[in-house]
Amino acid sequence: MEYRASSSSSLISPAAMAASLPMVAVVGPQFCAPDTMALTVTKKSFSWSGGDFDVSDVNGAILMKVQGRYLSRHSHRVLCDAAGTPIISMRKKLISWHNTWKVYRGDSSDKKDLLFTVKRSHMMQLKTNLDVFLSGNDRVCDFSVKGSWFERSCAFYLGNTNTIIARMNRKYSLKNVLLGKDTFGITVYPGVDYALIVSIIVILDEIQKPDS
């Protein structure tokens, strides 16, 4: 991961904060755009695996797809590029009080390919709070997520700081309402790995399911 520290302050405007963000490349620098990215994530109303998503840009072009592995149900998700090539795989830890997921490069489950771990900040919590730890770190989180998944409104932070690296909000359209699709927009700030942000959102969706 490429990472350059920067200071933050609650008095800094969102635009200025976005411009001064450090380079955040976890999955890969090819997923770090020089400008703010606006993405749309659409969850399919029905899929055999229970968790398929499409990720598109402002022009509607599909950039990524999230697929569930058949019969794995809520334990294995794969983020692929538009051609279907696996980028990272998300695997749920079978026994975990904090609903822990481990994310690997490609469709691997090998320890050497581990990129990061995502888990709830607390065993019992009313609000949405997730901690993200890069491989080799299990003490102080590298990223955190706070907000309300019910309202589809969350912010992604650099560690435990006030520095926001991305935001998520629900998107409404008559078509999606009629089709029963869950659609939300993501704003990813410059230099921030959008594959990382998308994968965290997918895991967040899984963690918030009643049977999780």
User: Which residues does residue 144 pair with via DSSP β-bridges, in sequence order?
Assistant: 131, 157
Question: Residue 67: which of 83, 84, 57, 210 has the closest Cα?
Answer: 84
Residue 97 pLDDT > 80: no
pTM beyond cutoff 0.95: no
Q: What is the pLDDT of residue 6?
A: 39
**What are the pLDDT digits (tens) for 100-112?**
999 999 999 999 9
Residue 79 pLDDT > 60: yes
Question: Residue 37: which of 55, 10, 60, 57 has the closest Cα?
Answer: 57
Q: What is the pLDDT of residue 170?
A: 79
Question: Residue 42: which of 166, 187, 150, 185 has the closest Cα?
Answer: 185
All domains of the chain, ordered by start, with CATH? 17-207 (2.40.160.200)
**What are the pLDDT digits (tens) for 4-40?**
433 343 444 555 555 566 778 999 999 999 999 999 9
pLDDT interval class at 125 (50, 70, 90): low
Worst-scoring range by mean pLDDT, 75-79, 157-161, 173-177, 185-189?
173-177
**What are the pLDDT digits (tens) for 169-207?**
977 655 555 555 678 899 999 999 999 999 999 998 888
Sign of CA dihedral 154, 156, 159, 160: negative
112 is written with which tokens?
A: 């050497």
